[in-house]
């Protein structure tokens, strides 16, 4: 196990849970992933923000809901060199700014955006805090993908914002899966929702977490009050399932992250 000390601009660097009850959520995710989500010395001045730890390493963020009616969600963050320049690129490409670039003490600079279809994602310009210290190991983030009903428009948008390239793979009856690339490596995925997902489900980003055994994890999840929204199914990347936690936040599990997930 080796800790990440930096994340290349354009790569996935953090995931963050918004939830109505961090203490109860800590119990749920602790049982599923072996996390601890302790209060930090700075939690009070950061609006209750905490960092989930796996074996002492930071793997994810957790924060209380900020306003009435806000849904419980997982948000994926991408590393950038310049948050303000990225915000300008988002606007130029047709996206919208949900939270303007802001400093988080000396930890870094962050912002939250929506792409032209409304899928929400964040960015992180690292200061003293780099983001996720563990990737692609059981209990750690291992992939992220945007689900879109207009993949060609998504390719234009994210290509313009992050400089991502694309590699399309024919999945047979499952359609085409697109991998976002940066240099020679894959950094994220793009899934065409059309014909796969009910029309009422909006485009969104989906965070994946690695587990040692998907089926065993699903039993733990169901026992802890979560629901299996899809799967499990076997894929080239491993055995996969989509989960809804007890407060409605959606995430995915896979038990054997493939080579693509391990490159980012």
pLDDT at 176: 80
Q: Give the residue among 83, 263, 261 at the shortest CA–CA distance from 162.
A: 83
**Report field, pTM of the whole predicted structure over 0.85:** yes
Residue 192's SS3 state is strand
The 8-class DSSP code of residue 81 comes to: S
Q: Are 186 and 260 in contact (CB under 8 A)?
A: yes
DSSP 67: S
Residue identified by tokens 């109505």 is 20
d(CA 35, CA 50): 12
Half-sphere exposure of 236 (CA within 13 A, CB side): 9
Q: Which two tokens stand for residue 100?
A: 């303007």
Four-CA torsion 238, 243, 245, 248, nearest 10 degrees = 140
Residues (pLDDT < 50) of the chain are 257-264
- C-alpha to C-alpha distance for 193 and 170, rounded to whole angstroms: 15
* pLDDT at 184 (0 to 100): 84
- Going by C-beta distance under 8 Å and a sequence separation of 6 or more, which residues neighbour residue 194? 149
CA dist 101 and 206 (Å) reads 23
- Hey, what domains does the chain have and what are their CATH numbers? 12-126 (3.10.180.10), 141-262 (3.10.180.10)
φ, ψ dihedrals at 227, nearest 5°: -125, 145
Q: Going by C-beta distance under 8 Å and a sequence separation of 6 or more, which residues neighbour residue 23? A: none
């Amino acid at each position: 196990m080796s800790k990440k000390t930096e994340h290349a601009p354009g790569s996935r660097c953090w995931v963050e849970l918004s939830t109505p009850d961090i203490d109860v959520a800590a119990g749920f995710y602790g049982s599923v992933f072996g996390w601890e989500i302790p209060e930090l010395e700075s939690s009070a001045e950061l609006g209750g923000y905490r960092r989930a730890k796996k074996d002492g390493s930071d793997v994810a963020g957790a924060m209380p809901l900020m306003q009435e009616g806000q849904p419980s969600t997982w948000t994926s963050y991408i590393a950038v060199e310049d948050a303000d320049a990225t915000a300008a690129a988002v606007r130029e490409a047709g996206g919208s700014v949900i939270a303007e670039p802001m400093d988080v003490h000396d930890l870094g600079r962050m912002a939250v955006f929506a792409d032209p279809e409304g899928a929400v994602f964040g960015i992180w310009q690292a200061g003293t805090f780099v983001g996720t210290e563990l990737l692609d190991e059981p209990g750690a983030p291992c992939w992220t993908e945007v689900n879109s009903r207009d993949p060609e428009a998504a390719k234009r948008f994210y290509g313009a914002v992050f400089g991502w390239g694309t590699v399309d793979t024919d999945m047979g009856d499952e359609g085409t899966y697109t991998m976002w690339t940066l240099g020679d490596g894959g950094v994220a995925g793009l899934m065409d929702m059309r014909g796969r997902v009910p029309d009422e489900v909006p485009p969104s980003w989906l965070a994946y977490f690695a587990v040692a055994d998907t089926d065993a994890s699903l039993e733990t999840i169901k026992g802890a009050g979560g629901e299996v929204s899809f799967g499990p199914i076997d894929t080239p990347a491993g055995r996969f399932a989509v989960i809804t936690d007890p407060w409605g936040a959606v995430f995915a599990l896979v038990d054997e992250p493939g080579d693509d997930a391990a490159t980012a």
